[in-house]
Amino acid sequence: MQVVEAKGVRIPQIGFGTWQLRGAECSTLVKEALRIGYRHIDTAQAYENEAEVGDGLKAAGLPRNDVFVTTKLVLRLTPPVQFMKAMKESLSRLKLSDVDLMLLHWPPFQNPMWKSRWVRWRWL
């Protein structure tokens, strides 16, 4: 599988997106995607399927280091201090101790609170 390298991290170029997948179908398709060779799974809080993605990851039975997992946090109306809480909730739903890439889904830069604090959060 082709990968992109960024700061020593090898990211599979092609990922399996889970937008609009729900319930048992989501879990089954994540498991099947991993069975046929996908090694990058993409989800988000906004998709409301992190628990099902986690079930599919577990059902696939691959070592955690063999799968690159991306999820995204929805913080449009939440102050930046809620970032860690939201991240822990995502990890819990995914049944993982970590993810490989955590993104802000549509960060609200028009919100003055975010503009003034964004520099402080760039290290995350």
| Domain range list for the chain | 3-121
- Beta-carbon-side half-sphere exposure of residue 52 (alpha carbons within 13 Å): 20
Q: Of the residues 38, 47, 68, 114, which is catalytic?
A: 47
CATH topology (fold) of 3-121 = TIM Barrel (3.20.20)
Active site residue 47: yes
- CA–CA separation, 77 vs 92, rounded Å? 21
pLDDT score, position 109: 59
Helices (H), the chain: 23-35, 50-60, 83-94, 112-121
pLDDT score of 72: 93
User: Which of left, alpha, beta for 8 (phi over 0: left; psi -120 to 50: alpha)?
Assistant: left
Residues 109, 18: Cα–Cα separation, whole Å: 26
pLDDT value at position 110? 60
Helix (H) and strand (E) counts for the chain? 4, 6
Residues (pLDDT < 50) of the chain are 118-124
Name the residue among 12, 3, 59, 19 with its Cα closest to residue 39.
12
| Residues 18-51: tens digit of each pLDDT | 999 999 999 999 999 999 999 999 999 999 999 9
Contact 18, 47 (CB under 8 A): yes
